[in-house]
Amino acid sequence: MSKPTLDVLGIGNAIVDILVQTDEAFLNENGLIKGTMALVSSDDQWDLYEKTGQAIESSGGSAANTLAGVAALGSRAAFAGKVNKDQLGRVFGHDIRAASVTYETKMSIDGAPTATCLVLITPDGQRTMQTFLGACVEFSVDDLDIEQIQSAKVVYLEGYLWDPEPAREAFFKAAEIAHEAGRKVALSLSDPFCVDRHREGFLAFIEEHVDILFANEDEILSLYQLDDFESVAKRIQGVVEIAALTRSEKGSVIVTADAITPVPTRPVDKVVDTTGAGDAYAAGFLAAYTQGRDLTTAAVLGSLLASLIIQQIGARPSASAQDLLNQLDG
């Protein structure tokens, strides 16, 4: 087995976020379920956008945000995801490369436009997302870089990308290549509604191909259709090598074959925007894990980075993320 040249390779949706601050009345008036993600057409997204106030555009995508966090913590990161060769596609490519993440996926020329996500942020920091997947759905096995997969310690797969069949096939192929090269495969469940749509497929993929599973409490309960966290933690035990389960202000729980370990988080002064909190947790965890740190330390770094993210607008960390490593070693 050759020496890895990447710490984490992420495969997911390449999206430009449109961030708007709003209130619960607006969500109710437009029939939106707070704190969830829904797939919509470009027209429906635009109609809703026209009803909102001033917006901020920011490159996003769940796995892309995670890889930006991995790179911000000094680890070697790469991302694979499809954009169109349009203005927003160029913006996405510029931003992720500027975050020190390797990005080489070939742009689509004739297909759908680059994906966008309208992120509606309520005063409590919760985000409700309306996503037009656009060019994301064109990602396929042909977009995989075999050498890149073989060179990464961990291949991190974004559950949101499970919807289109070509991307799903790419997940199976990427996992196969990674394991043949002796690498680890990680999966984020992404969203409880995503789990509801694809429960059986996720369960089979996790049992056969996943080493490290990331999920929040709602997602893992939805996966196993249980209503008790302690029961679901025991249910996932032994199914994967590591399950990192986040519980908001309660911190996270690390599940291995031998132990179920709660790891508390630190309180924050004010939650501004929860966009990317789970992405940031995965980034901190994977950065520490690929640096050879123990799982509890990985969970602590994940929570520290998530705490940093929820106190700002936008899902990608600032330069101060590197300071979090000093807190671990201090």
Q: How far apart are CA 312 and CA 59, in angstroms?
A: 15
Q: Is the pLDDT of residue 330 over 80?
A: no
Q: What would the pLDDT profile of 166-202 be if each residue is shown by its tens digit?
A: 999 999 999 999 999 999 999 999 888 889 999 999 9
What percent of the chain stands above pLDDT 90? 71
3-state helix, strand, coil in the chain (%, to 5): 45, 25, 30
CA 97 to chain centre: 17
Q: Are 133 and 165 in contact (CB under 8 A)?
A: no
Could you tell me the pTM of the whole model? 0.89
Please give the pLDDT value at position 79. 98
Q: Are 64 and 160 in contact (CB under 8 A)?
A: no
Contacts of 55 (CB under 8 A, 6+ apart): 18, 19, 20, 49
**Helices H / strands E in the chain, number of each:** 12, 14
The topology under which CATH files domain 6-14+61-113+136-329 is: UDP-N-acetylmuramoyl-L-alanine:D-glutamate ligase (3.40.1190)
- 3-state SS class at 23: coil
- Rg for the chain, CA atoms, rounded: 18
Please give the pLDDT value at position 265. 80
Please give the pLDDT value at position 2. 77
Element at 208 (helix H, strand E):
helix 192-209
| Phi, psi for 6 (deg, rounded to 5) | -125, 150
Q: How far apart are CA 192 and CA 215, in angstroms?
A: 9
Query: What pLDDT band is residue 298 in, cutting at 50, 70 and 90?
Result: very high
Least confident segment among 80-94, 119-133, 289-303: 119-133
Q: How far apart are CA 33 and CA 14, in angstroms?
A: 24
Query: What pLDDT band is residue 267 in, cutting at 50, 70 and 90?
Result: low
Please give the pLDDT value at position 262. 96
Q: What is the mean pLDDT of residues 125-152?
A: 94
Q: What is the mean pLDDT of residues 65-75?
A: 92
Q: How far apart are CA 172 and CA 35, in angstroms?
A: 29
Please give the pLDDT value at position 317. 64
Q: What would the pLDDT profile of 196-248 be if each residue is shown by its tens digit?
A: 999 999 999 999 999 999 999 999 999 999 999 999 999 999 999 999 999 98
Q: Is the pLDDT of residue 313 over 90?
A: no
